[in-house]
Amino acid sequence: MNPTATPAGQPPESFYVAHQKIYAREVQGRFARLRNLAVVALLGIYYVLPWINWGGRQAVLFDLPERKFYVFGITFWPQDFFYMAWLLIIAALSLFFVTAIAGRLWCGYACPQTVWTEAFMWMERLTEGTHSRRRKLDQAPWSTEKLLRKGAKQFLWVGFALWTGITFVGFFSPARELFGRIATFSLGPWETFWCLFYGFATYGNAGFLREQVCKYMCPYARFQSAMFDKDTLVISYDAGRGEPRGGRKRKMDHRAAGMGDCIDCNMCVQVCPTGIDIRQGLQIECIACAACIDICDSVMDRMSYDRGLIRYTSDHAMREKRPLKMLRTRTIIYGALLLVLLAGFAFSIGVRTPLRLDAIRDRNTLYRELAGGDIENAFSLKLLNLDTRSHTYVLQLDAPEGMRLEIDSSGLTLESGEVRRIPVRVLTPRDALSAAGIDITFTVRAEGSPGMEASAESRFLGPPPGR
């Protein structure tokens, strides 16, 4: 029996038909538990994180009005954009790596689209019941019960979406103060707008669009197959074992009757959130949620057949009946690259000093010859205190004997986040000059904070010696 066959007498499936709602059957099993766990953990992180404080301030806050990002103990400035770019590359490569090994694991368990859709479907089940009751409710004429059930669902959905929007803004504007402003109805216009905007997007994507986003709009769904090979774990129906499929009595010896293990109960189609039939092979719509594995395993148990008629396996493993091969050129390269990037990231965060120094030469004059026989170069130093507290700094020059540093400003105390331009002069007796250009290094140290130092290299210019 073909589940996609159109009823007799009707024209074949046409494009010009409005989207029909999928009433996916509820499913229980190993992978459903795993996904629920992922949903709870990921949503938990999302909703709880803005409320956690760290060192007297919100632990994770991307403070856009102040242009500072706080991630636990570390403060990032716009100058640290490099770290974010690096992190995005790591994220992309991780996705490639995971896809090469286990296919669309991201789609089935971690994608916000899946996670929020699960949460919305849970609320739908709570108010409208199981899939068959939902279908009946939709077909039934309007009644008090229908109104109450639909109203309750919308109430939960809209409330949850709004809360999601508020939490989202709470990552960018301190969450506790934000909530205080909401409670007193004194939210700023842009904050209000973004709460509603993100809430609306959540409602639209998770309540209304759902798997349509994966099927039509997601770029990853289209290009993920480029990371696939014949050894990638995919969810497959074991056609060799299942076919020829067909209904049968539970106790009958189906092998003797020339039948495969598939009892053609169609449960795998009913549980599929994207409405495909996995028995037709790997399809682009499959988001690898493994609902069909869970339901088929339960059917196999009931029939006292072996589990795994639908299972995670690779094309090679299935066809050639050999064990899975995780270590392959592709996965080794992705893995090694990922490791290098991660190690580099951790190292660079570890040695990062919240202090920056730039030295810019005075462009108007190369050098000046002073009356006393000294050669003078002017520099403009730019000092940035990127730490979360103020510091007093000491400036020092690393240069050949005889060269000295003169600073106009005396106290070098900078507040957190302060940027200061410091005009300095470097002088040397003409006789001490060994070449026309000498490399020099300015170093700045924070008083009382050993190891917190930054340096900037530049060049001292003078007349050629012996002239």
Q: Where on the chain is the footprint of other proteins (CB under 8 A)?
A: 3-7, 12-23, 64-65, 67, 78, 81, 84, 132, 135, 188, 190-191, 193-194, 212-213, 215-217, 219, 247, 263, 265-267, 269-270, 275-277, 280, 284, 295, 298-299, 302
Nearest distance in Å: CB 462, other proteins: 37
* Pick 92 or 147: Cβ nearer other proteins: 92
User: Which of 435, 434, 452 lies closest to 443, judged by CA?
Assistant: 452
Nearest distance in Å: CB 195, other proteins: 13
* Pick 79 or 434: Cβ nearer other proteins: 79
Nearest distance in Å: CB 227, other proteins: 19
Nearest distance in Å: CB 62, other proteins: 10
Nearest distance in Å: CB 466, other proteins: 47
* Pick 299 or 444: Cβ nearer other proteins: 299
Residue-by-residue DSSP string for 139-200: HSPP-HHHHHHHHHHHHHHHHHHHHHHHHHHHTTTTHHHHHHHHHTT---HHHHHHHHHHHH
Cα–Cα dist 374/403, whole Å? 10
* Pick 212 or 388: Cβ nearer other proteins: 212
How many Cβ atoms sit within 10 Å of the Cβ of residue 454? 19
Nearest distance in Å: CB 246, other proteins: 11
User: Which of 279, 273, 313, 318 lies closest to 291, judged by CA?
Assistant: 273
Cα–Cα dist 173/64, whole Å? 7
Cα–Cα dist 367/178, whole Å? 55
DSSP letter, residue 396: E
Cα–Cα dist 117/209, whole Å? 9
* Pick 10 or 410: Cβ nearer other proteins: 10
* Pick 247 or 323: Cβ nearer other proteins: 247
| Region class of 266: left (phi > 0), else alpha (psi between -120 and 50), else beta | left
* Pick 65 or 159: Cβ nearer other proteins: 65
Nearest distance in Å: CB 266, other proteins: 5
Query: Which distant-in-sequence residues (6+ apart) come within 8 Å of 102 by Cβ?
Result: 232, 233, 312
How many Cβ atoms sit within 10 Å of the Cβ of residue 315? 16
Are the C-beta atoms of residues 399 and 424 closer than 8 Å to each other? Answer: no
Nearest distance in Å: CB 299, other proteins: 5
- Continuous segment of H or E residues that includes residue 210: none
DSSP letter, residue 209: I
3-state secondary structure at position 379 = strand
Residue-by-residue DSSP string for 320-373: H--------HHHHHHHHHHHHHHHHHHHHHHT--SEEEEEEE-SS-S-EE-TTS
Sheet with 74-76, edge to edge strand ranges: 60-63, 68-71, 74-76
- Structure tokens of 149? 């059930």
Nearest distance in Å: CB 338, other proteins: 21
Nearest distance in Å: CB 6, other proteins: 5
* Pick 57 or 222: Cβ nearer other proteins: 222
3-state secondary structure at position 445 = strand
* Pick 44 or 65: Cβ nearer other proteins: 65
* Pick 165 or 462: Cβ nearer other proteins: 165
Nearest distance in Å: CB 13, other proteins: 5
Gap between the terminal Cα atoms of the chain: 100
* Pick 216 or 347: Cβ nearer other proteins: 216
